[in-house]
Chains A and B, each alone.
Chain A
Amino acid sequence: MREINAGVIQDNVQKLFASTCCDLGCDVENSIKKALDAEKASSGKKILQQLLENINIAREDNIPLCQDTGMAVVFLEIGQDVHITGGYLYEAVNQGVRLAYKNGCFRKSVVKSPIFRENTLDNTPAIIHTDIIPGDKIKIIAMPKGFGSENMSAVKMLKPSDGVEGIKSFVLDTVIKAGANPCPPVILGIGIGGTLEMCTLLSKKALLRDMSQKSSDKYIASLEDELLDDINKTGIGPQGLGGKVTCLKVNILTYPTHIAGLPVSVNMQCHASRHREITI
């Protein structure tokens, strides 16, 4: 049994959010650079150039690249041989989020009641997902999720007979309906299988994959390529103003499901795909 103090978790959560809001991963930056070559529309090219310039300014000045610094999503993979001491784990996570958003001058975008909508003023509570894994370490993943893209996400319980064609048309419908709203070029996280909540969680986890990696499953990897290709023929383009680059990457995660079901979830992410992790 290894002991980890809740204060250490709090500090790490704070550091992860502080850095990821201002310093976009190089994998995303490189994929925008590649997209610049593929883009034919002149407004589209200018927009992609602005995004690259924006990434540099944010990094150099240590300011958020987008004013929507999101709702704080935290994934915790907790080794079963870990004992957390010195406080409650979820309170430590929330305190880390609170301090990161206060000290970083990030926008506080969380309202307490979805109906009455009073701001909590500190961007908490975080959305916390925990998995128990073998071992004596904790992996913390911080993911500030903006809502321009979150609002355009969708889930559908398809019939098994809808098959892969049904999945493809649902994904394309979702992207076309979203149009300019999620600030394209987007990254798509897709969950297929499981139950209603499992497939949506998979679609969020799918957004955490490095931009240079494909699914390890050959069939799924080719489905990712095919969807990306189709999405980039919709003409939506950067910011929805027309062009070739609507989507930078499609990531699919799957899970076994019920004989009667085919759940599919599409989680939309704008180019500000901010996530950072540490294992302690």
Chain B
Amino acid sequence: MAKFILESPFTQDFSKIHIGDTVYISGYIYTSRDAAHKRLYELILNGKPLPVDFKNQCIYYTGPCPKKPESIIGPCGPTTSGRMDKYTPSLLDLGLKVMIGKGYRSDDVIKSIIKNKCLYLSATGGAGALISKCVKKADVIAFPELGAEAIYRLYVERFPTVVSIDSYGKNLYVEGVKKYRELYY
């Protein structure tokens, strides 16, 4: 399994990156989860401009804890990506390149990942404290009224992830389990 350090926003293509590879993300990424996705989707449907240009950018599905006064951000592990599936293809069509979350994606999302040559990366669910240490800057840039669900722009260094769906649509959630399954009933 190869290791990559990717700088966001992205300039390279992902053709050499495969499921199971380790990817460290550095640079600027955007948080967004259920409520913010719903709003972005409605803006797109109504033909209105988005608060962020997502071209070549990365979205991280998370809803952090409130931060302590002395910290940059509270614990911020990934949330379940599948809840964003309905909204995802529209964002990928607008140029969003990488998503970080946890868990399965729908067939429509996988088709859109192949079409737009994107990556879906999995972060470790439950490792919120560890991931918060990779965040060096955090600013709310849209929907502040949504609290933990607002869109934050984060500056991250070496955010550890594993490639779970690559730009060819190969899926580690399927292939990985197949490899280690010993029980059929």
A contacts, CB < 8 Å to B:
40-43, 46-47, 50-51, 53-54, 57-58, 61, 63-69, 105-107, 148, 169, 172, 179-181, 183, 230, 233-237, 239-244, 270-272
B66 interface hit (Cβ, 8 Å)? yes
Given contacts A64-B129, A241-B176, 5 further A-B contacts (CB under 8 A): A63-B68, A64-B65, A181-B104, A241-B173, A242-B179
**A107 and B126: CB pair below 8 A?**
no
**B181 and A181: CB pair below 8 A?**
no
Range of interface residues on B (Cβ < 8 Å): 35 or more
**Total number of A-B contacts with CB less than 8 angstroms?**
158
B75 interface hit (Cβ, 8 Å)? yes
CB A167 to nearest CB in B, in angstroms, measures 14
Q: Which residue on A lies nearest to B21, using beta carbons?
A: A43
With A67-B76, A107-B148: A241-B172 Cβ-Cβ less than 8 Å: yes
CB A221 to nearest CB in B, in angstroms, measures 21
A234 and B130 CA atoms in complex are apart in Å by: 28
The one of B63, B80, B124, B132 that contacts A50, using a Cβ cutoff of 8 Å: B124
A148 and B62 CA atoms in complex are apart in Å by: 13
**B129 and A180: CB pair below 8 A?**
no
A244 and B183 CA atoms in complex are apart in Å by: 11
**B180 and A41: CB pair below 8 A?**
yes
B128 interface hit (Cβ, 8 Å)? yes
The one of B79, B103, B126 that contacts A180, using a Cβ cutoff of 8 Å: B103
Chain A contacts for B102, CB-based, 8 A: 180, 183, 239
**A66 and B176: CB pair below 8 A?**
no
Chain A contacts for B148, CB-based, 8 A: 107
A181 and B128 CA atoms in complex are apart in Å by: 16
Q: Which 4 A-B pairs have the closest CB atoms?
A: A242-B176, A235-B181, A183-B125, A233-B183
A230 and B185 CA atoms in complex are apart in Å by: 11
13 A–B contact pairs at CB < 8 A?
A43-B172, A46-B22, A50-B130, A57-B129, A64-B74, A64-B75, A66-B125, A106-B66, A179-B104, A235-B176, A239-B102, A241-B177, A272-B126
**B176 and A107: CB pair below 8 A?**
no
Chain B contacts for A271, CB-based, 8 A: 126
Chain B contacts for A57, CB-based, 8 A: 129-130, 133
**B80 and A181: CB pair below 8 A?**
yes
**B129 and A242: CB pair below 8 A?**
no
